[in-house]
Amino acid sequence: MKTVRVWFRKTGAACYISHLDLTHCMARALHRSKIPLWYTQGFNPRAHMVFALPLPLGMAGERESVDIKIEEDKISMEEVAQRLSRALPPTLPVTAVTEPVMKPGKIAFASYELRLEPEGETADELAAAFAALLEQPEIPVEKHTKSGMAHFDLMPYLGELRWSAGEGGLLLSMVLPAGSEKNISPFLLTEAFEKQRGVSFLCRAVRNNLYDAERKIFE
């Protein structure tokens, strides 16, 4: 038995399915692919699957992963990638299958890119309003936690925020805490901006990579 890490992208319509639905989709694809999986023991055996870090609903993922256990003598990692690719929809393409290097519990940061597309105003006007938001002494936001809603200031977490007015909208890139210890969604920033502006706008978001506490890329 061997644990392998399946790398895939989450794109298009797949961005709008929940993590639970993604889990079901992956389980069905693994079943259809006839990959020799290791199943949990007990009354209701299930294929062993461990996703690195769930994506927020509506966000694309360029480098997502799920760990599975296979009978290593029966199938190669290349064959796992080929079979699973045929079983998954085009919006969830498999990019690689590798041996795990880091444990998902080591994830501490994530990098994101967002495009905010305004209605009724130019990208430069949106950029000026965003600059005004960042000039405030704090950005109060509310975040769902296991114990209920938590109120905190988002400003201290924006040290690696970069932004510019681009073609068709406002372009943002940032690195935020992510993982089991602390997880801050970039959508908290866009929600605070919408609240300040009193309007809604289209937001296209993608998570590019995950990192450990020392900023080493999750592998």
pLDDT digits (tens, 9 = 90+) for 106-121: 999 999 999 998 877 7
User: What are the start-end ranges of the H helices in the chain?
Assistant: 19-33, 77-87, 123-134, 187-197
pLDDT category at 12 given cuts 50, 70, 90 is very high
Assess whether 113 and 197 both reside in one domain. yes
Is residue 60 a contact partner of residue 6, using CB atoms and an 8 Å limit?
Answer: no
Point out the domain boundary residue: 73, 100, 127: 100
Q: What is the mean pLDDT of residues 127-142?
A: 93
Assess whether 71 and 112 both reside in one domain. no
Q: Which of 158, 59, 154 is nearest to 113 (CA)?
A: 59
Q: Which residues contact 145 (CB under 8 A, 6 or more apart)?
A: none
Assess whether 71 and 145 both reside in one domain. no
Does residue 219 belong to any structural domain of this protein? no
Q: What is the spatial distance between Cα 91 and Cα 22, in angstroms, rounded to a whole number?
A: 11
Look up residue 184 and give its amino acid: I
Q: What is the pTM of this model?
A: 0.91
Q: Which of 204, 203, 190 is nearest to 129 (CA)?
A: 190
Assess whether 131 and 63 both reside in one domain. no
Assess whether 178 and 202 both reside in one domain. yes
Assess whether 67 and 130 both reside in one domain. no
In this model, does residue 147 exceed pLDDT 80? no
Does residue 217 belong to any structural domain of this protein? no
Does residue 95 belong to any structural domain of this protein? yes
54-93: pLDDT as tens digits = 999 999 999 999 999 998 777 899 999 999 999 999 999 9
Assess whether 17 and 92 both reside in one domain. yes
> Residue 81: what pLDDT?
96
Assess whether 81 and 46 both reside in one domain. yes
Q: Where do the DSSP E strands lie in the chain?
A: 2-10, 49-51, 59-70, 94-98, 107-117, 140-145, 148-153, 162-166, 169-177, 202-212
Q: Which residues contact 25 (CB under 8 A, 6 or more apart)?
A: 17, 88, 89, 92
Assess whether 152 and 186 both reside in one domain. yes
Per the structure, the count of domains in the chain is 2
pLDDT category at 23 given cuts 50, 70, 90 is very high
Task: Please report, for the domain that includes residue 169, its CATH number.
Answer: 3.30.70
> Residue 122: what pLDDT?
81
In this model, does residue 48 exceed pLDDT 90? no
Task: Please report, for the domain that includes residue 80, its CATH number.
Answer: 3.30.70.580
Domain with 179 in it? 106-212
> Strand pairing partners for 173?
113, 162
Assess whether 87 and 123 both reside in one domain. no
Place of tokens 């936690």: 145
Assess whether 95 and 110 both reside in one domain. no
Assess whether 177 and 195 both reside in one domain. yes
Q: Which residues contact 178 (CB under 8 A, 6 or more apart)?
A: 53, 107, 108, 109, 110, 184, 210
Angle at 44 between CA 39 and CA 45, to 5 degrees: 5
158-212: pLDDT as tens digits = 999 999 987 778 999 999 999 888 899 999 999 999 998 887 888 999 999 999 9
